[in-house]
């Protein structure tokens, strides 16, 4: 369930074990993609967040 929430690439690893098995550069990329997805979702679905981001 956790893996599908983040739309990770297939054939990978379980996200909960990422810090233990990924090289630092790959872990940073994974974290950045996840953060981007969260911000995009908030921007598209939370009116207050959308308004505040438009003000900046």
Start-to-end C-alpha separation, the chain: 35
Give me the DSSP letters along the chain.
-HHHHTTPPTT---GGGHHHHS-HHHHHHHHHHHHHHHHHHHHHH-HHHHHHHHH-
pTM for the full predicted model? 0.61
pLDDT values of the chain reduced to their tens digit, one per residue, 56 residues: 344 555 555 556 666 666 677 788 988 998 899 999 999 999 999 999 899 989 97
pLDDT at 43: 93
Q: Cα separation of 39 and 12, whole Å?
A: 23
Sorted by where each begins, the domain ranges of the chain are: 27-56
């Amino acid at each position: 369930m956790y893996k599908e929430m983040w739309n990770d690439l297939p054939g990978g690893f379980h996200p909960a074990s990422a810090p233990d098995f990924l090289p630092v550069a790959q872990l940073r990329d994974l974290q950045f993609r996840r953060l981007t997805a969260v911000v995009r979702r908030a921007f598209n679905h939370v009116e207050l967040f959308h308004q505040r981001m438009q003000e900046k």
